[in-house]
Structure 1
Amino acid sequence: MKKKNPTRPSKNVISSDISLLQWAVVAAVTLFLFIFPFQVALFNGMTFDYEGPLFGFMIFSSITLLILGIRLFKTWRFDDYRFILSLGALSIPFMYMLSSINAVSAHNAKLMMQLEFVVAAFFIIGLYVAENKRHMRVIELAIQLSGYVVVLYGLMNLFGQAFFVNALWLADNGYRLTSIFQYSNSYAAFLTALFLAGLFSAIHTKHWYWRAAHSFMLVPIWLSLMLTYSRAALVFIPFLILIILPFLRIGKQILYLIYMVLAIVSSFAILSKIAATADQIAKLLDPASNQGKTLSFWNHLPLSGWSLVLGISVLLAAIITFMHSRLSQWLDNATTRLGEKKWSYVAVPALFIVVGVLAAALVFTSSGVRSLLPASIADRIESINLEQHSVLERETFYKDAFKLAADYPILGAGGGAWGEIYEKYQNNPYSSKQTHSYYLQTLVEIGWLGLIVLLGFLAAVYYLFIRAYIKNPEQRGSQLVFFIISLSILVHSSVDFDMSYMYLSALVFLGLGAMLAPYNIIIPRFTAYNHLKWRLAFPAAISLMALVLFFWVYREYDANVNYNHALEMAIVEKKPLDQILPSLDKAIKISPDHPDYTLRKLDWMKQAYNSTQDVKYRQEQEKLITQLKHYAPYNRLLFVEEYQYYKNVGKSDIVLSTIDEALTTFPWDMNFYEAGIMEYYLFGDKEKTINSKDTDIKWNHSLELYKEVLNRIEYLKSLPTGQLQGREFKVTPTMRLAIGQIYYNRQMYHDVIELLKEDINGDFANSTIRSEVHTYLDALQAIGQKDEALSNKLAEAEKKAQEELEKINK
């Protein structure tokens, strides 16, 4: 019976294709891997600060995709299964396009749509370029060597020979190594992928010098991984090893574990000294101060650190290189008979599970074993449990993500939705612009339909790879490196935001494409169509997509450049407003949905009005608020601008409705509660001589908001012991003053005294505190009591405040 989708060696796999276009794409991918990681790994933080490098990355990638599209005009075949896989990859950005229709942030949705098209482009690039063995080998080495550069650069920051902002991140337990990522957990995911792939390459490469190079880097990678203090990475590594081992012959499985143990033991042998040296260097350089201080390599501290790292790395590389041939041959011979049994591939993984469980039990139960590690690392390992604050916080993020998704179930809330509206759904006042899970962030952004598309695509790719890998043993090779790297990052990204680093995201999808590229899976029924001219539709579509993406992104880049130019003229060159505005207006015209551009102009219009009292600036403010409200209705800073503007122009109804809307969107924002309680009191106070009923309604609403604050404070006390509350949330002096005034007007004098006594010993330089004390003293007087000492203290403070005011006015 004829198979529907046979897999056979592609002619291109063994050809010596020297197409300049093909090599141009390979060269472009190599440049990307060595250059763009140093742009904070292309982190997509959904803020203006990170957008410049992202636009450069997308422009570069669109040009690369265009070159590939032109190349495909010559080589693409209609019966090639890669066509369907390419459409599968493109279905993900297509889902982002659909979700952008009702996105909660038009700009974020547009940016994510562009980035997802680029990520899909990397999958297509890997799929069509790595079909040639030579090209695949170049890309494989480029990924690993560029990764090794990142690792060494991270160690240079650790030992003080280089300075990259937040390459050492100051956390509660000291400095955590982050290298170019500025976030230790995502760096740990990257290191995990490099370490597991490096082990594979050390075993399978045919050249001794590459084996030496990969072996040499195992210790620096593992040391760096331990110095990230990432617990999740340590938890995931055993599971990843269990997935990888069945892909290897039994002899190679044993060799993989032997080299791994040698690398880990070698690293632990020097880890305490490296950690101690790094701490001493950190005290000297104070990396958190961002002063950019460095030390010479020949300084005794870094020299001692580097000597240990390089010395043990050279020793390990020498041992592995010299013993590999004989050990590998001996293991293959010794396991030949066992390898013939069907269950042989799971024998070593099963043994690994047993040994791993025993080793884990020893580490967690034996203080003597943990004492061999630096105290900070031992404490992190000991704290691995389900009650630690990072686990509890992630659990909260995930529950809140499901609550958000319930309101946008099918297509999601658009790209970047979590960072825009997570506060509406949050359980407690934490601050996290990232969902800390790639899959749940996808759910939030493109809904259940989009998540199914993503998971279906990933499942199809891995299924096809595993099927082809099993059925074509003669084609097995280093494509497993791409499998290891992509799988390691995707698994870790289930509990962190690794895929928000577009460098990692591109790396994953490049690997997904490259690992399938050598297998020429054909669809026989479509072979007859290969000679038809309309087969060129796919290369034409790829080329057109690249062109559209290029010009689309270039416009956004142009807006970014103009906005930066406006800022430079304003802050550095101190140019007048009329010279600055043309650049800013151009940025807004190109990208009217960008909140930073419009909010900046709003701020400048406000300053201009305060200086000139020219009504045209007020009119421009209202116009900008209305315009941005359409594109970013949940933007917190816009709510603040809207509230302040309508308060200044005296539109009380809009002020109160703005506050109510803000409190619905930001139910844990203490500042909005403060504004709401005070404004409802003030507007009620204005109306008490006109309509006492309206006064009562407004004052009662103020009291309701105050009660809501008290209820939420009480709720925060019920959080699990290990879970951090997040942002501050408490009753402020302004809230107490407003409520105290309401109580006083309702002759609830004892309630006034009880409420305000908390602040009578506060800082009298604060006008709100002085107002509270006034109300407190009035309430005392109303019940026939007085506090002479407090009255004298208040009088003295007000006299001092008046003198300070007169000095300022002079």
Structure 2
Amino acid sequence: MAQKAAKKNKVTINVSKRSTNYINAINVVFYISLLLLVALPPYFRGMYFDNEFLPTICITSVVVVIWSLMKIIKKEPIISERLDYAAISIIGAYLISTFFAVNIRSAIGEVLKYVDYVFVYFLVSRLANDKKKIWILLNVLVLSSFGVAFVGLLSAAGYVNYNGSWVGGRINSTFQYANTAASFLMAFLLVNFALISYTKNRYLKALYGVEAFMQLYAYVFTLSRGAWVMFPFLFLFLIIMMPKGKRVEPFVYLIGVIIASALPILKFNSVVNGPKPHNLVMWILVGCILALLFTYIVSFLVEVVNKISLKIGISIIVIVGVLSTVAGYMVLTTEVPLTLSHSQNEADSGKSVIRFVDVDADRIYVLKYDVISKNDDNKDWAYDITIESRNDLDQPTKIKDVYDKEAFSGEKTIEFSTLKDTKRLAITFTNYFKGTSVTFDKAYIYPKNDPSAVQNIMLKYKYLPENVASRIQDISLTSHSSSERMQFYKDGFKIFKDYPLFGAGGGAWASLYFKYQSYLYWTTQTHNYFMQVLLDTGLVGAAAMIFFLVMLILSVIKLYKAEIDIDESILLAAATVGILSIYAHAAMDFDLSLSAVTIALYSLIGIINSISIGKAHKNIAAAKGKKSYTGYYSFGVLIVGIVVVFMSFSLSTALRYAEKGDQFAKTNNIPQAMQYYKSAVSYDPWNAKYRMSYGQTLASIADQTKDAATYQEAMTQEQKAVDLEPFNSQLLAQLGAFYLSHGQIDNGLKYVKKAVDVQPLRPENYQQLADAYNKVGMFYLQNNDKAKAKEYLEKAVDVENLFNKANSKSEEPKPMTDVTKQIIQNSKEVLKGIQ
């Protein structure tokens, strides 16, 4: 009996062991899938476009469906923490807002996105369930940002041809937008400096140093002023978050990486703008080697610092801090003469620098400068100084333009008056012609009646590349980008006032801003994530977001105060500073509209939740009596996952059909295009653009076949398109044109007029309206109905009043188009003949 019992126990143990191994293998597969889901999105244009993001949602949802089934079988919870409920509340707010959405398709798209983000958050919370897995996940995210930096730098060098990665002298990398690239690189550069302190392996520290150099190098040449300003404050936050005994390390490593980066940064412009931009790779390698060596050497210094007394450690930090401050001050204040020149072999071209100066409005100023100019070939001018006024909107108005032809050496002055709306000046120094040169040694500006209030104009920074220097010079709340953002926010609040409680649904800003804008500008983004959530979901969504952030902050504070080991403290600091960095920059830009950044953000938030869950499980006493498994919630996740799989697959399929329809439409194969658009509509019935394209192809076929049923279907589809997006001026104009071309004059004019109402500041809309009125009037005149002709021709003439009335409300009035003026003039002449 004893032998049988022992044998039975052995079999049970083996079965149990095999079962455990099987479960562990499955968890490894899920974990690797998670790593891929968070690492790859930045390389697909930041997951901004549906044709990349919809398949990602589908794949993520498939993983979650299988994973949630495993959780249900094992009776393990997916949702248990307050932060879990807070994350779900944001999905709930977006879901509610779809019932009030002005663009139902965009609203559905946003719901699917947030479901995906929360799915990633759940996967991280439960799969990255120990220090090693959290460490690996953070390293994968850092490596992902390293890859982003690598692509950006190689694009600048001309080795990588990634569309939009290097544009206008700025690194956009795979995000195709410089500010978002800067936000992503900055967040995980900060995480990297925490991870350097995590490992004890000096060789690994050295590799982190190489990563940090690449991140920093690319980050600097995104030329993102907002990110530059934020970095010191975020780095200080990282130091505060680090555990005692580790706070000195990130700072010391940062100094080492900056020193390693100094020479490559100085050489960047001259190389990429020179005849051999490929040589940038040499400077990348130089920086990598220096960063490797400096980080390795610094690791010994850090070890010594950690062994000495706290007072000595603090003293070293203070000394290094003072030296760094002095070095920074020298970099930002050391000036050299500005030389702009063209040799005899160079073609004529504008070489210039621009400098900004804050001044008072409506005041007389003097610009004094020392100059040496040469013009041996008697060209039109040796140099030009242009002085522009910039107002609250940073709109330029030229005040003075001085062209100096003579060869001269000495001091000169320019006297000018600022305007009543001047906030600052933009002073441009230019050299243009070959064989000419100019050197500006010093430049000052001061009020004529108060010479003591003099301001020095930094002509050329000795230790900064010019594109970096010019961006630093333009850091101001009155710069164009800053003032424009402020206007976006003001216009955003106008939208909020009309949709306060539930918002206008996902994509509210892009659908509505033309109607509310204070002057004509073009942007589909609010450039403020929190404003975007407010407009999308109203006060309900704002409450959900506040709930989510409060729960997140409480989780961080609780963990910061808890008795967790030093490694967990470092991981907590890394995740927290990454979260703060992304949210801080998203408050002034649209980074989180690129889903790759939001996926990374929710991964970091998931890490916070994972550490919290791990801490709770360690506290056995607190866990007793707490219900650890709620099957209903897990089944809910499963059902939502299945729904999202089908919806994302359907929308993705529709997109592919629509793209094929576009291809056939371009080749004028209308029947084939119609069939593909029809399929697109069947898979994505909420997409107004698909319906309009389908309706237009049907209308084209109906015009040829004269088939009444086809015509009726065309009208139905185009009308549904406008019903789905009632604030889309382009769709309204297209529907109006359809009705007018098919004899429904009243309907046609109604929708052309609506196109003006929803986008009142676009001059071309008035051109369409005037043209429609004119053509209808001429139609009635040709049919000898002079009364009707007069009525509509007078409306064509009155378009001028409509335009002037709308334009008078604009902060930046636009001129009426010449075509509109001609249509109005023609209508007036015809009216004279009728009368």
Normalised-by-shorter TM-score class: 0.7 to 0.9
Note closer, same or farther for the CA distance 1:691–1:352 as it changes in structure 2 (3 Å cut): farther
Partner of 1:422: 513
Note closer, same or farther for the CA distance 1:733–1:105 as it changes in structure 2 (3 Å cut): same
Q: In structure 2, give the amino acid aligned to 1:116.
A: Y
Q: In structure 2, give the amino acid aligned to 1:89.
A: A
Determine helix, strand or coil for the equivalent of 1:162.
coil
Q: Which of 800, 803, 823 is matched with 1:706 structurally?
A: 800
Partner of 1:9: none
Note closer, same or farther for the CA distance 1:441–1:245 as it changes in structure 2 (3 Å cut): same
Higher relative contact order (CA 8 A, sep 6+): 1
Partner of 1:68: 67
- C-alpha displacement of 1:244: 1.8
Partner of 1:772: none
Report the Cα distance in structure 2 between the residues aligned to 1:699 and 1:730, rounded to whole angstroms. Answer: 22
Determine helix, strand or coil for the equivalent of 1:19.
helix
Note closer, same or farther for the CA distance 1:458–1:237 as it changes in structure 2 (3 Å cut): same
Q: Cα deviation per residue 1:467-488 (whole Å; 9 max; x = unaligned)?
A: 2122224242323222222221
Report the Cα distance in structure 2 between the residues aligned to 1:512 and 1:25, rounded to whole angstroms. Answer: 19
Q: State TM-score, norm by structure 2.
A: 0.76
Q: In structure 2, give the amino acid aligned to 1:472.
A: E
Note closer, same or farther for the CA distance 1:462–1:433 as it changes in structure 2 (3 Å cut): same
Report the Cα distance in structure 1 between the residues aligned to 2:562 and 2:322, rounded to whole angstroms. Answer: 26
Report the Cα distance in structure 1 between the residues aligned to 2:29 and 2:158, rounded to whole angstroms. Answer: 37
Moved more, 701-710 or 630-639: 701-710
Q: How does 1:564-575 map to 2 (within 5 A)?
A: 564-567=659-662
Q: Which of 220, 231, 235 is matched with 1:237 structurally?
A: 231
Partner of 1:385: 476
Contact 2:253–2:298 (8 Å) recurs in 1: no
Q: Which of 457, 464, 469 is matched with 2:555 structurally?
A: 464
Partner of 1:660: 753
Percent sequence identity over matched residues?
20
Structure 1: gaps spanning 5 or more residues: 1-14, 44-49, 282-299, 720-724, 748-777, 783-810
Partner of 1:145: 143
Q: Cα deviation per residue 1:352-374 (whole Å; 9 max; x = unaligned)?
A: 99879967974897838723222
Q: Cα deviation per residue 1:138-196 (whole Å; 9 max; x = unaligned)?
A: 21111111221221122221112221111112xxxx32111101111100101111221
Determine helix, strand or coil for the equivalent of 1:143.
helix
Determine helix, strand or coil for the equivalent of 2:247.
helix
Q: How does 1:198-237 map to 2 (within 5 A)?
A: 198-237=192-231
Contact 2:111–2:506 (8 Å) recurs in 1: yes
Please state if 1:308 is matched with 2:307: no
Q: How does 1:321-400 map to 2 (within 5 A)?
A: 321-331=296-306, 333-335=308-310, 362=333, 367=458, 370-400=461-491
Q: Cα deviation per residue 1:171-224 (whole Å; 9 max; x = unaligned)?
A: xxx321111011111001011112212222222322223211110122222221
Report the Cα distance in structure 1 between the residues aligned to 2:646 and 2:289, rounded to whole angstroms. Answer: 49
Contact 1:529–1:535 (8 Å) recurs in 2: no
Report the Cα distance in structure 1 between the residues aligned to 2:576 and 2:119, rounded to whole angstroms. Answer: 18
Contact 2:661–2:677 (8 Å) recurs in 1: yes
Partner of 1:293: none
Report the Cα distance in structure 2 between the residues aligned to 1:73 and 1:369, rounded to whole angstroms. Answer: 66
Please state if 1:113 is matched with 2:111: yes
Determine helix, strand or coil for the equivalent of 1:370.
coil
Contact 2:145–2:215 (8 Å) recurs in 1: no
Report the Cα distance in structure 2 between the residues aligned to 1:200 and 1:25, rounded to whole angstroms. Answer: 26
- C-alpha displacement of 1:114: 0.7
Report the Cα distance in structure 2 between the residues aligned to 1:357 and 1:679, rounded to whole angstroms. Answer: 63
Q: In structure 2, give the amino acid aligned to 1:594.
A: N
Partner of 1:22: 27
Report the Cα distance in structure 1 between the residues aligned to 2:300 and 2:560, rounded to whole angstroms. Answer: 25
Report the Cα distance in structure 1 between the residues aligned to 2:135 and 2:322, rounded to whole angstroms. Answer: 33
Partner of 2:95: 97
Structure 2: gaps spanning 5 or more residues: 1-19, 335-355, 357-455
Contact 2:38–2:599 (8 Å) recurs in 1: no
Q: Which of 173, 177, 190 is matched with 1:179 structurally?
A: 173
Note closer, same or farther for the CA distance 1:422–1:61 as it changes in structure 2 (3 Å cut): same
Determine helix, strand or coil for the equivalent of 1:518.
helix
- C-alpha displacement of 1:610: 4.8
- C-alpha displacement of 1:644: 0.9
Contact 2:503–2:538 (8 Å) recurs in 1: yes
Report the Cα distance in structure 2 between the residues aligned to 1:22 and 1:356, rounded to whole angstroms. Answer: 50
Partner of 1:37: 42
Partner of 1:506: 599
Contact 2:186–2:227 (8 Å) recurs in 1: yes
Please state if 1:536 is matched with 2:534: no
Note closer, same or farther for the CA distance 1:426–1:347 as it changes in structure 2 (3 Å cut): farther
Report the Cα distance in structure 1 between the residues aligned to 2:483 and 2:602, rounded to whole angstroms. Answer: 31
Q: In structure 2, give the amino acid aligned to 1:709.
A: F
Report the Cα distance in structure 2 between the residues aligned to 1:715 and 1:356, rounded to whole angstroms. Answer: 50
Determine helix, strand or coil for the equivalent of 1:280.
coil
Contact 2:332–2:461 (8 Å) recurs in 1: no
Q: Which of 651, 665, 670 is matched with 2:744 structurally?
A: 651
Moved more, 93-102 or 595-604: 595-604
Q: Which of 130, 133, 136 is matched with 2:134 structurally?
A: 136
Partner of 1:795: none
Report the Cα distance in structure 1 between the residues aligned to 2:630 and 2:769, rounded to whole angstroms. Answer: 63
Determine helix, strand or coil for the equivalent of 2:274.
helix
Report the Cα distance in structure 2 between the residues aligned to 1:745 and 1:464, rounded to whole angstroms. Answer: 74
Q: In structure 2, give the amino acid aligned to 1:433.
A: T
- C-alpha displacement of 1:528: 2.9
Note closer, same or farther for the CA distance 1:625–1:585 as it changes in structure 2 (3 Å cut): same
Determine helix, strand or coil for the equivalent of 2:81.
helix
Contact 1:144–1:194 (8 Å) recurs in 2: yes
Report the Cα distance in structure 2 between the residues aligned to 1:175 and 1:164, rounded to whole angstroms. Answer: 15
Please state if 1:437 is matched with 2:528: yes
Report the Cα distance in structure 2 between the residues aligned to 1:610 and 1:693, rounded to whole angstroms. Answer: 30
Partner of 1:769: none
Determine helix, strand or coil for the equivalent of 1:421.
helix
- C-alpha displacement of 1:613: 4.8
Determine helix, strand or coil for the equivalent of 2:170.
strand
Q: In structure 1, give the amino acid aligned to 2:183.
A: A
Moved more, 190-199 or 363-372: 363-372
Q: Cα deviation per residue 1:385-414 (whole Å; 9 max; x = unaligned)?
A: 111110111111111111111111111111
Report the Cα distance in structure 1 between the residues aligned to 2:806 and 2:726, rounded to whole angstroms. Answer: 25
Q: In structure 1, give the amino acid aligned to 2:824.
A: I
Report the Cα distance in structure 2 between the residues aligned to 1:585 and 1:379, rounded to whole angstroms. Answer: 52
Moved more, 521-530 or 610-619: 521-530
Note closer, same or farther for the CA distance 1:359–1:195 as it changes in structure 2 (3 Å cut): farther
Q: In structure 2, give the amino acid aligned to 1:732.
A: T
Q: In structure 2, give the amino acid aligned to 1:399.
A: K
Determine helix, strand or coil for the equivalent of 1:367.
coil
Q: In structure 2, give the amino acid aligned to 1:736.
A: K
Note closer, same or farther for the CA distance 1:185–1:258 as it changes in structure 2 (3 Å cut): same
Partner of 1:757: none
Query: RMSD value over aligned CA atoms?
Result: 3.5
Please state if 1:270 is matched with 2:264: yes
Q: Which of 602, 605, 610 is matched with 1:517 structurally?
A: 610
Note closer, same or farther for the CA distance 1:529–1:272 as it changes in structure 2 (3 Å cut): closer
Partner of 1:767: none
Report the Cα distance in structure 2 between the residues aligned to 1:351 and 1:220, rounded to whole angstroms. Answer: 26
Determine helix, strand or coil for the equivalent of 2:308.
helix
Report the Cα distance in structure 2 between the residues aligned to 1:353 and 1:324, rounded to whole angstroms. Answer: 19
Q: Which of 640, 643, 648 is matched with 1:553 structurally?
A: 648
Contact 1:242–1:349 (8 Å) recurs in 2: no
Q: Which of 815, 830, 834 is matched with 1:730 structurally?
A: 815
Structure number having the greater helix percentage: 1
Q: Cα deviation per residue 1:580-610 (whole Å; 9 max; x = unaligned)?
A: 5444322211212112322222332343345
